[in-house]
């Protein structure tokens, strides 16, 4: 049984039942430990109490609980397997059953990472899925203004993959984990941590980004909003009292054996929305509740899908690359240090390039009204500047109207191939064509690519039509594009002396004939120029959210199948 926690002066204080050994919820039956790695196991007991952890793969570790009752050991695993047990012995005993050893990945981000398999286009194909060696840990969204030692969600636990758990899981995480498990042939565990509408500023501690001018401005706006809320009587103290009352009601329902809020939604702990300096968009607040409580659970790597909230305008989107690099570096150091070196300080970090959204592309190159193009370039730059990173290109997915598209399967599968190729060393093509360099030959521009696989191709029959050329006047025109071995040759009757090219430079280039390799992976949008993408002295232009027409129904788009 979970033990409730007292609330004092707005700070969640863990209540340790002295003499009772207990664990955070991420340690439950059906959990997956990382193979061939040290695996931190931690919890609480009476200060000074001896705690011993036994495993059926042969490890035995003992530790004495500290003055605050906390303890941690590192259990080392070898080969993958299932059917293990882990026993935690103090004055009482906890036995975790049906434990697996395999591959563990953290899947985190905002609403499109949280978008469930059951709400995606190919949900019906998963109605009979039964993959007991694919396990999922998913918890309710939470945020907090101080780092939490454990989550309040008392229903969170590891679940084997079956139709019910698959339907409620993040579709991107599900298809990623399912593909890995089937290709690797070992147990795979996915830790899903998603929270809708959250900026990257929320996923890092305030302390490491307090010198970032954009983050400082973001925080200032929320602080000003909080002052207005306080003036209306929505004070921090009132919000904390109301939160504690709601938390007590939640805990009482769980204690009575209730699990559902209604027919379709499980019970979840409360969250604070006002004032804004206690809310989910405040710097550090998502990190405090969605990341801090699971550190340093041993993981192989991270799949990240976030960025919409940081692509409202071009300057914000351009800055995202610096924030993403900072977050990746911090996560790597955090896991490595808190796991006493058990988790690699350079673990792989794969992220999702923003898909297509807004009306389809009609101009050769879109401008400041299309900040998602800048976001895609920001992410691409991170793959070029930071080691052991990769990006799933997604411009052939998305929706003209909906910010939450239903075609999530290609994204999850592409992330899986990134991992299979880059992390696990499978001899297969794991990404689309990557622009490397260009050469001008008279009226022609030759674009060279790596990762062309068995050869370059279009996404459908007909000429490639997503390329643009410009001369010294910086005026863009559609270009004719022809594939020549591992290159694309561009020409335009309107550009006699080409100096720059761009590809798929629009919010929604999905309906153009895009560039792929024969293995079915698309190329990322790119440009050969370094011309400014916006005027820093001008007021930023915000992205326009399309109006949903009456009766609008989402539809998927055709795309080449992966042929590995």
DSSP letters spanning 407-426: --HHHHHHHHHHIIIIIS--
Contacts of 59 (CB under 8 A, 6+ apart): 53, 75, 76, 77
What confidence category does residue 143 fall into, taking pLDDT thresholds of 50, 70 and 90? Answer: very high
Report the SS3 class of residue 188. strand
Residue 544 CA: distances (Å) to CA of 31, 214, 357, 379: 43, 21, 10, 21
Terminal-to-terminal C-alpha distance of the chain = 47
State residue 19's pLDDT score: 54
What 3 state SS string does 197-212 have? CCCHHHHCCHHHHCCC
Per-residue pLDDT tens digits for 416-443:
999 999 999 999 999 999 999 999 999 9
Tell me the pLDDT tens digit for each residue of 349-382.
Answer: 999 999 999 999 999 999 999 999 999 999 999 9
Name the β-bridge partners of 266.
260
Q: How do residues 162-188 score in pLDDT, each as one tens digit?
A: 999 999 999 999 999 999 999 999 999
Helix (H) or strand (E) holding 304: strand 301-305
pLDDT of 284-318, one tens digit each? 999 999 999 999 999 999 999 999 999 999 999 99
- Over residues 438-459, mean pLDDT: 97
Pick from 36-50, 86-100, 173-187, 251-265: least confident: 251-265
Spatial distance between the Cα atoms of 59 and 200, rounded to a whole number of angstroms: 39
Sequence-ordered strand ranges (E) for 318-433: 349-352, 356-357, 389-392, 398-399
pLDDT score recorded for residue 263 = 84
Which among 324, 325, 337 is positioned nearest to 296, based on CA atoms? Answer: 337
Q: How many CB atoms are located within 10 Å of the residue 562 CB?
A: 17
Q: How far is CA 343 from CA 18, 23, 59, 299, 361, in A?
A: 30, 20, 18, 7, 44
Q: Residue 552 pLDDT more than 50? A: yes
What average pLDDT is seen over the chain? 95
d(CA 397, CA 416): 16
Q: Is the peptide bond before 202 cis (omega within 30 degrees of 0)?
A: no
């Amino acid at each position: 049984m979970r033990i409730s926690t007292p609330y004092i002066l707005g700070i969640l204080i863990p209540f340790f039942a002295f003499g009772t050994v207990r664990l955070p919820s991420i340690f439950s039956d059906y959990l997956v430990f990382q193979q061939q790695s040290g695996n931190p196991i931690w919890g609480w007991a009476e200060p000074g109490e001896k705690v011993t952890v036994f495993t059926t793969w042969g490890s035995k570790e003992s530790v004495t609980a500290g003055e605050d009752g906390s303890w941690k050991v590192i259990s080392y695993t070898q080969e993958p397997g299932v059917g293990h047990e882990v026993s935690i012995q103090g004055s009482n005993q906890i036995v975790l059953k049906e434990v697996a050893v395999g591959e563990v990945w953290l899947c985190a981000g905002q609403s499109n990472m949280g978008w469930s398999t059951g709400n995606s286009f190919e949900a019906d194909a998963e109605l009979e899925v039964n993959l007991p060696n694919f396990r999922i840990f998913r918890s309710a969204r939470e945020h907090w203004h101080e780092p939490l030692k454990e989550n309040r969600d008392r229903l969170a636990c590891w679940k084997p993959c079956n139709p019910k758990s698959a339907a409620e899981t993040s579709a991107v995480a599900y298809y990623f984990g399912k593909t890995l498990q089937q290709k690797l042939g070992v147990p795979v565990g996915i830790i899903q941590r998603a929270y809708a509408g959250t900026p990257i500023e929320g996923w890092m501690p305030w302390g490491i980004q307090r010198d970032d001018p954009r983050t400082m401005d973001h925080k200032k706006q929320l602080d000003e909003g909080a002052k207005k809320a306080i003036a209306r009587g929505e004070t921090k103290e009132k919000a904390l009292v109301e939160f504690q009352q709601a938390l007590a009601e939640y805990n009482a329902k769980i204690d009575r054996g209730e699990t559902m809020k209604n027919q379709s939604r499980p019970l979840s702990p409360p969250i604070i929305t006002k004032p804004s300096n206690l809310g989910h968009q405040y710097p550090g607040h998502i990190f405090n509740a969605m990341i801090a409580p699971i550190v340093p659970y041993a993981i192989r790597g991270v799949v990240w899908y976030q960025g919409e909230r940081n692509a409202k305008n071009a300057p914000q989107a351009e800055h995202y690359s610096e924030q993403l690099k900072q977050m990746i570096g911090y996560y790597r150091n955090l896991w490595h240090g808190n796991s006493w070196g058990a988790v690699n300080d350079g673990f792989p970090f794969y992220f999702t390039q923003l898909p297509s959204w807004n009306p389809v592309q009609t101009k050769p190159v879109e401008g400041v009204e299309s900040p998602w193009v800048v976001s895609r370039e920001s992410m691409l730059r991170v793959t070029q500047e930071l080691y052991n990173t990769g990006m799933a290109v997604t411009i052939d997915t998305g929706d003209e109207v909906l910010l939450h598209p239903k075609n999530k399967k290609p994204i999850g599968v592409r992330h899986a191939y990134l991992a299979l190729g880059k992390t696990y060393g499978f001899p297969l093509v794991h990404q689309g064509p990557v622009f490397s360099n260009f050469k001008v030959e008279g009226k022609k521009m030759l674009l060279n690519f790596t990762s062309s696989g068995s050869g370059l191709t279009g996404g459908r029959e007909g000429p490639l039509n997503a390329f643009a050329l410009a001369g010294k006047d910086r005026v863009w025109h559609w270009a004719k594009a022809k594939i020549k071995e591992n290159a694309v040759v561009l020409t335009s009757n309107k550009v006699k002396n080409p100096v720059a090219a761009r590809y798929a430079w629009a919010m929604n280039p999905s309906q153009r004939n895009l560039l792929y390799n024969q293995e079915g992976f698309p190329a990322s949008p790119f440009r050969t120029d370094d011309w400014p993408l916006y005027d820093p002295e001008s007021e930023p232009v915000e992205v326009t959210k399309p109006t949903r027409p009456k009766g609008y129904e989402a539809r998927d788009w055709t795309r080449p199948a992966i042929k590995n």
